[in-house]
Amino acid sequence: MPMGLCLPFPLLWDMKEAVRACLAGRLGCGCLLFLSQCVSTLTYDTLRFAELEDFPETSEPVWILGKNYNALTEKEEILSDVTSRLWFTYRKNFPAIGGTGPTSDTGWGCMLRCGQMIFAQALVCRHLGRDWRWEKEKRQKDDYFSVLNAFIDKKDSYYSIHQIAQMGVGEGKLIGQWYGPNTVAQVLRKLAAFDSWSSLAVHVAMDNTVVIDEIKRLCKPSVACTGAAAFPSTDMELLHNGFPPEARMMDKLSLWKPLILLIPLRLGLSEINEAYIETLKQCFMLPQSLGVIGGKPNSAHYFIGYVGEELIYLDPHTTQPAVEPSNSCFIPDESFHCQHPPCRMRISDLDPSIAVGFFCNTEGDFEEWCQHMRKLSLIREALPMFELMDHQTSHFCNPDVLNLTPDSSDADRLERFFDSEDEEFEILSL
């Protein structure tokens, strides 16, 4: 095997067995020499995958973004669902951010990649549906490539690492600086205003409070607001992002803008308060679930479900070469899907700073989500992580916020009103 070549996943599993055989004294000197040469070719990121365990054989229900599986009889379905999620990891050798900045996000971009993943899941639900599945070497729909193209590492993709890093400067984050869940949520909210194809309403709920009236005003704009300048529509931009020109007409006819609801929370001081664990689990059961972004200090993950007392997540901490679309707009996409068993960690090890995500494609979906949340608040062993309110209470009222309309420069006004620093969460307590 040539030096410097990373080994494929099946060989990694064989090598794992070979190491065990070596330790047991069952390999000869020649095999040991070959094994040592192979190990020398592995990167740290590749070795991480060699330690992954297969999905557990358990009678516990497995929940993946609102879908319930049986691990004993539906393991292939579980892995297919996980593999179909868009997996964004560190990349290297992409065009320099800002022209002269970093060409790799290794070591600092994990939360940005997790933000991309939770947003990509919303776009998949929006354009392909929750039941859509990716299959290796199978030609996918054009809408799939349009979704993927929105996250490619180049400056003119709506949600690229370039756009997120540069928009983050407005949130007080230097390019190359680590983000928290709240910061990436605020940045993605701003970037979504330019995505005329998806025409999303993005709400970041602050102060652990979701106000129903605010969301309905955001998702049901007047006809005059719908065609506002906040949604650029130049032919060049639509061409760069690969989106159809009829997107704006669909936007004008829409009575409800599909909602991405992101709720930044802090569920404890230095570790998660156990009183919130059951509520967190319940969130993964909802059909509107987009998952959770969070992880451990300075190590972000995208959590897509749970089994027993373990969270299931996609890990962005492996570095892959940047991908360039071909002249025909085809994108080599295998590296954007995690084709090994998903990672797991104990829920009790989760850092308390997280952001929970939900997607409501229709007003009916949002009404159903509100009903779920109200029922969840009645479960004695499930302490609510946030408050659901019909109207804004007087102590929250501020004319500058309540009078916002989708066609104004809301991002700057909201930025002045809300402190977006991740350290400024209100601590939830019993």
Q: Which residues are designated catalytic?
A: 110, 315, 317
Using CA atoms, how far apart are residues 335 and 354, in angstroms rounded to an integer?
26
Using CA atoms, how far apart are residues 237 and 158, in angstroms rounded to an integer?
9
Using CA atoms, how far apart are residues 321 and 323, in angstroms rounded to an integer?
6
Quick one: DSSP state of residue 244? -
Using CA atoms, how far apart are residues 48 and 44, in angstroms rounded to an integer?
7
- Best CA proximity match to 123, nearest among 73, 192, 175, 61: 192
Q: How many whole angstroms from its chain centre is CA 244?
A: 24
Using CA atoms, how far apart are residues 346 and 303, in angstroms rounded to an integer?
12
82 neighbors 306 (Cβ within 8 angstroms): no
Looking from the CA of 72 toward its CB, the CA atoms found within 13 Å total: 4
Using CA atoms, how far apart are residues 180 and 421, in angstroms rounded to an integer?
8
Three-class SS of residue 217? helix
Alpha helices in 242-293 (DSSP H): 247-253, 277-285
Beta strands 201-204 and 259-266, pairing class:
parallel
Q: How many whole angstroms from its chain centre is CA 178?
A: 16
- Best CA proximity match to 314, nearest among 34, 117, 94: 117
Bridge partners for 276 per DSSP: none
- Best CA proximity match to 374, nearest among 355, 387, 358, 356: 387
Using CA atoms, how far apart are residues 153 and 155, in angstroms rounded to an integer?
7
* 400 residue type, one letter: D
* CA distances (Å), origin 92, targets 86, 97, 269, 329: 18, 12, 35, 21
Looking from the CA of 348 toward its CB, the CA atoms found within 13 Å total: 3
